[in-house]
Structure 1
Amino acid sequence: MDSDRSKGDGNGGAGDGGVVVVGGGVVGLTTAIRLVERGLRVRLWSRDAVTETTSAVAGALWWPYRIEPAAEVGGWSLASLRVYEELAAEPAATGVRLVPGVHADTVLDGLGAWAKELGGLRQLAPDEVPGPYEVGLAARLPLIDMPVHLAWLRARFEELGGSFERRTVTGPGFAEAAAEARVVVDCTGLGARELASDSGLRPVRGQLVLVENPGVDSWFTAADAAADETTYFFPQPGRLVLGGTAQDGAEDLQPDPATAAAIVARCARIRPEIAGARILGHRVGLRPARAGGVRIEAEPLAGGGLLVHHYGHGGAGVTVAWGCADRAAELVCGA
């Protein structure tokens, strides 16, 4: 993952005040790493521990899902895929594994040009598709254990010379950060509704159920981008993650028992042994969707500083994280 890039040397590089990245999820961490790799002095401010961010709730399978703009997503996704393929060489440390599975209700010809860059995609015959689905696509993709991965990202950032700080930014605006750095990078996800006064942001609620794995070693998804119910399961170390929901505009962070029961039932239609699996816990997260898609753009700050916005990744922040981080870093370093 470009590990031979220069370590931050404390000399700034984006100006005497260096850079403050606000937001400690996967988008903020990857952006901070790319900046410190370029030799900048970088501080990352996060309200929460990295394992308590929205990113920690993610499944998290690499696949472009519920994200715009379509013209950019393919390139961002492929750039991120190459990084995950490298990180999969050390799964215990990085949390990244390459795992086989099936995307039901998916046709290869219906995907974007990015799919032609993937090796191993195979259209399945109808009798090969699990459950009540007639079409499906087999693939071997990065599956990421997010608590482990987020902890690795933070450690990597600090190893390169970055500074991680638990700080809460109130808004609107980023005056507090701008007072301490010439460049501020806004990776606040749904928080940018207030901090960046962006009314185009909205939550898409995702609920998951964690169960003991009854022997499932491959992933499965059936996710209609227009539906608020999805069906998927991801085998992670020590658990099987069952999903899910995509409830546009919902903000309730409490797990709903009826929704959880429906998730288990849907997954059990694909793998019946899931029905009897012992429940380990429930998770709810709010995906930061945005009208117009991901926002990566710069605007001037008073006094000659720069604010780079980098948010709105919807349900695919993990999938595009590294590609988007490269773009945000270009805006910072062009300042």
Structure 2
Amino acid sequence: MYGGGNTFEGIKTDSLSQEDPQKLAEFEARIARGEKIEPGDWMPDMYRKQLIRMIEQHGHSEIIGALPEGTWITRAPGFKRKLSLMAKVQDEVGHAQLLYSAAETLGKSREQMLDDLITGKSKYSNIFNYPAFTWADSCFISWLVDAGAIVNQLANAKGSYGPYCRALERICAEESFHLKYGHHCVIYLASGTDKQRQMFQEALNRWWAPMMHFFGPSDKISAHTEVLMKWKVKMSTNDDQRNQFLDMYVPKIWELGFTIPDPKLKKNTETNKWEYTEPDWEEFKRVINGDGPCNKERLEVRRIAEERGRWVREALKSPSMRYVTPLA
């Protein structure tokens, strides 16, 4: 569901000075030719670390992102929507497994990634630390948060690291169905009663600021965008992705008759860029670093799940399991 690139990059650039110049030049030439880097290939330490950071953050975001929507499965209006939302949540958790597999090819184990998530060492997308109070909140996530994720994932699917690109291709195919589901739910509210329209407008008001944070900090304060784009770890800047999202979805929101809670939001026809109120990056940092409305709650749910599933993992590792015949 949810793309990477949401946190402040924290790898020191001076690590490049310690790399073999010839190997680094060959590596960069391969990327310039459009070749994919595979797990057994030589790569700079900074490239490896940034990919692990981005891919595991993406995986964590899929896992944690399933929680606010998951709470609405039993309360979704109608049996078909319950089934659809259940399938969507299941897909998101499956996406996390694909991403963890891709990150493991870079040398970090899945167990370590999950442990770092639970202890707060690894981050995940800011937007999943907010409560989904109403059904309309779930609809906002399914439509607009998934839309923002697709903007990020379609770009990064063209990146330089083979396993991540292949995982994203499959994820994007499934996300297109999630987007249609979310759009259908919003259209239902938009064409409903005054109370239903008000419910979505209130959800839009609550989620707009986190949505503007979703693409990550402004390019003015993002530390390593230049080298990461040169290596095709990132395929577009945070601000470019934010502008692309606004281009695609602000007209759709307005067409449905809803109001976006930003009096400064407008398209500059000369620059072809959107102007908007600068997001509160101090709030963004607080939420990313564990001080959001639902950070502790979401991680506690994940911790309990890990504890309850421990016996299964240990049983599967048991030597006696080697002799168990699989069911046909």
Q: TM-score, normalised by structure 1?
A: 0.23
Q: Which is richer in strand?
A: 1
Structure of higher CA gyration radius = 2
Q: Identify, as 1 or 2, the structure richer in helix.
A: 2
Normalised TM-score (structure 2):
0.24
